[in-house]
């Protein structure tokens, strides 16, 4: 028995020595910039010693070098076809395997450790995701974005949020998988609580679910999140949506003021006044639009919103008429229906919708409002207007 034990120990030591020899062979090749030759050594080494963490760690380094070689050639020649298209996934897989076999495995001098190797793979995985996305290969893009996010998380990089977000967009828009989309967006904000893109997407998904409580949580986080030039308009619009939904007029107006203090662009004015009109805050909406139109009278967005504001004022009066009829207050209903105010709102709505149409005639909402107003006023509806509406509705 003692002789057998000694024999097994000798075999194990011999196996380790032989494994170390082929690892050293691959290592020397890498130091001499001979990654393809190192690949041959390390693949033979993996086949012979599949349970050796050092072997897998060196394999990860070999394939990282192959990946770098391909990337340099692609940068020099856009038509270059990668010789090792799977190098990235094999490198990452090898680093993961090395850690599973030995959590304390150490690299050779000048080589990457297993964790550092995975961190280094994060950005290439993201870049591959972008490349596949541009080619319409959505599943491959998704796989790369998810792997990228996991690798970024190892180094606690905020880029993990962006990678999870990209995965969420693919799930939602291309794969039509709402639940997984939501899961990815949640991961994007869990890895970075200030990631406004993820918070905004989650808000609107919860809004679709009529989940007011979670909408409120997202709105609360957005109100204190750091805002940059790319997201600030969307953040303010999301908050306007929330305060409009919850009926908080004072907060809605305050958000509009904050948004316009940051940007007084036609787009921002149009967004603010749209929510104000929906909330029936007509006076403030009209004031904002009048001021903006004085500077840019030919803006479609501003003219269209002025038309919409009067359109909503007209409907507010019509809603009161309907209530009076429901209460069987016929005389009051008739009087309001014939009131100068209703006629004025209808005429002004038509005037501004027509101005907007004359500036840009292919906006479906404005065109539908304009046709409705012409009918109410007993005006002729041009065939061109009908044709434009019908053409858009058929698409």
Would residue 58 count as lying in a domain? Answer: yes
Would residue 258 count as lying in a domain? Answer: no
What is the pLDDT, as a whole number, of residue 4? 47
What is the pLDDT, as a whole number, of residue 226? 82
What is the pLDDT, as a whole number, of residue 227? 79
Q: Specify the number of domains making up the chain.
A: 2
Q: Which domain holds residue 28?
A: 19-74+82-112
What is the pLDDT, as a whole number, of residue 14? 43
CA distance 95 to 351: 68
Q: 299-319, pLDDT tens digit by residue? A: 999 999 999 999 999 999 999
CA distance 138 to 378: 52
What is the pLDDT, as a whole number, of residue 395? 67
What is the pLDDT, as a whole number, of residue 2? 53
Q: How many CB atoms lie within 10 A of CB 40?
A: 14
Q: How many CB atoms lie within 10 A of CB 223?
A: 15
* CB environment 59-87: b (16+ within 10 A), e (fewer): bbbbbbbbbebbbeeeeeeeeeeeebeeb
Would residue 50 count as lying in a domain? Answer: yes
CA distance 65 to 87: 9
Q: 24-55, pLDDT tens digit by residue? A: 999 999 999 999 999 999 999 999 999 999 99
CA distance 182 to 202: 7
CATH code for position 44: 1.25.40.10
What is the pLDDT, as a whole number, of residue 7? 38
Q: 158-211, pLDDT tens digit by residue? A: 999 999 999 999 999 999 999 999 999 999 999 998 899 999 999 999 999 999
Would residue 334 count as lying in a domain? Answer: yes
What is the pLDDT, as a whole number, of residue 228? 79
CATH code for position 297: 1.25.40
Would residue 260 count as lying in a domain? Answer: no
What is the pLDDT, as a whole number, of residue 13? 42
3-state secondary structure of 57: helix
Residues of the chain with confidence (pLDDT) below 70: 1-19, 395
CA distance 152 to 160: 5
End-to-end CA distance of the chain: 84
Would residue 28 count as lying in a domain? Answer: yes
Would residue 65 count as lying in a domain? Answer: yes
Would residue 164 count as lying in a domain? Answer: no
What is the pLDDT, as a whole number, of residue 8? 38
Q: How many CB atoms lie within 10 A of CB 361?
A: 14
């Amino acid at each position: 028995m003692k002789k057998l034990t000694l024999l097994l120990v000798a075999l194990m030591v011999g196996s380790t020595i032989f494994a170390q020899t082929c690892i050293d062979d691959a290592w020397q090749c890498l130091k001499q910039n001979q990654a393809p030759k190192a690949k041959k050594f390390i693949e033979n080494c993996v086949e012979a010693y599949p349970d050796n963490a050092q072997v897998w760690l060196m394999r990860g380094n070999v394939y990282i070098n192959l990946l770098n070689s391909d990337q340099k050639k692609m940068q020099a020649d856009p038509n270059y076809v990668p010789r090792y298209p799977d190098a990235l996934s094999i490198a990452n897989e090898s680093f993961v395997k090395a850690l599973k076999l030995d959590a304390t495995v150490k690299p050779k001098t000048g080589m990457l450790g297993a964790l550092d190797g995975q961190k280094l793979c994060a950005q290439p995985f993201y870049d591959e995701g972008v490349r596949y996305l541009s080619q319409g290969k959505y599943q491959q893009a998704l796989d790369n974005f998810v792997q990228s996010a996991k690798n970024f998380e190892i180094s606690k990089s905020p880029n993990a949020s962006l990678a999870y977000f990209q995965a969420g967009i693919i799930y939602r828009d291309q794969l039509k998988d709402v639940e997984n989309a939501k899961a990815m967006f949640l991961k994007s904000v869990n890895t970075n609580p200030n990631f406004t893109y993820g918070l905004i997407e989650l808000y609107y998904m919860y809004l679709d679910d009529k989940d007011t409580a979670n909408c409120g949580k997202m709105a609360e986080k957005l109100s204190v999140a750091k805002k940059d030039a790319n997201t600030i308009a969307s953040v303010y619009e999301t908050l306007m949506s929330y305060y409009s939904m919850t009926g908080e007029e004072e907060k809605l107006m305050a958000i509009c003021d904050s948004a316009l203090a940051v940007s007084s662009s036609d787009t921002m004015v149009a967004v603010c006044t749209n929510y104000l009109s929906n909330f029936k805050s007509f006076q403030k909406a009209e004031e904002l639009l009048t001021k903006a139109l004085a500077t840019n009278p030919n803006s479609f967005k501003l003219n269209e919103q002025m038309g919409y504001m009067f359109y909503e004022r007209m409907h507010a009066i019509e809603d009161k008429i309907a209530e009076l009829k429901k209460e069987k207050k016929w005389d009051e209903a008739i009087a309001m229906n014939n009131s100068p105010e209703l006629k004025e709102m209808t005429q002004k709505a038509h005037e501004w919708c027509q101005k907007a149409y004359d500036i840009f005639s292919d906006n479906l909402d404005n065109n539908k409002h304009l046709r409705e107003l012409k009918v109410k006023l007993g005006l002729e509806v041009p065939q061109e207007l009908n044709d434009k509406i019908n053409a858009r509705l058929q698409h």
